[in-house]
Structure 1
Amino acid sequence: MDQNEITLNQLQNEVNDWIQTIGVRYFSELTNLAILVEEVGELSRLMARKYGDQSFKSGESAEQIPSEIGDILFVLTCLANQMGISLQDVIKSTIQKNTNRDLNRHKNNPKL
């Protein structure tokens, strides 16, 4: 692993440290859910302009997409921290669930 890369556990610790020192405290879970939805909407708006039929408004650009993904990851990490959920554990579980469900499904899909 590159020394600049971090594990999901390290990400959770880093976000928690930031919240405790700079953010003062976590917003409520419901507030963070609303913020997450807002951030996903901002990503959606940019994606619609880059890959869809809409054009960019003044001040918008596709270069903002990575920042919006970062914002989503940050808020999602806050929610996981607040609820005591390990991102490492849930992604492993989700990959296993998807593997079991879709082992042959996509291979046999003539649309792909």
Structure 2
Amino acid sequence: MDYNTKEIQQRVDRYISQFKEGYFSPLSLQARLTEEVGELAREVNHRYGEKPKKSSETEKALEEELGDVLFVLTCFANSLDIDLSSAFEESMNKIETRDRDRWTRIEGESNHE
């Protein structure tokens, strides 16, 4: 199933709203996000880096780790009442302006806005 950011935020909110505890504090969410990004980094390092997995370690899908990061990031945004689409738009506008001439363009490609 394909989700847009609004649907992702709504689905996460429906899930979290079932529990009395609700969203964690911003500091706890930052710690969880750091944990999840660390797990993603570990998996990337095992697959593409020089650090092989121990024989006792199970294979985790990169998709699973990215999904975990997205879930916690969405919790973070929801807890602070931040619209991810708006945040993404602001970020892309900044990047497309700041980095417009930073990289070598593929011939025939223009700025996609």
**TM-score, length-normalised on structure 2?**
0.85
Matched, 1:36 2:36: no
- Output the CA distance in 2 between the equivalents of 1:104 and 1:20: 45
Q: Does 1:102 align with 2:99?
A: yes
Structure 1: unaligned runs, 5 residues or longer: none
Higher helix share: 1
Percent identical residues: 36
Deviation at 1:35, TM superposition (A): 0.7
Give the drift of 1:23.
Answer: 7.5
Q: Let me know the Cα RMSD of the aligned residues.
A: 1.6
Residue 57 of structure 2: aligned partner = 59
Consecutive unaligned residues of structure 2, counting only runs of 5 or more, are 106-113
Report which stretch shifted further, 37-46 or 63-72.
63-72
The residue aligned with 2:77 is 80
SS in 1 for 2:17: helix
TM norm structure 1: 0.85
Larger displacement relative to structure 2 (8-17 or 19-28): 19-28
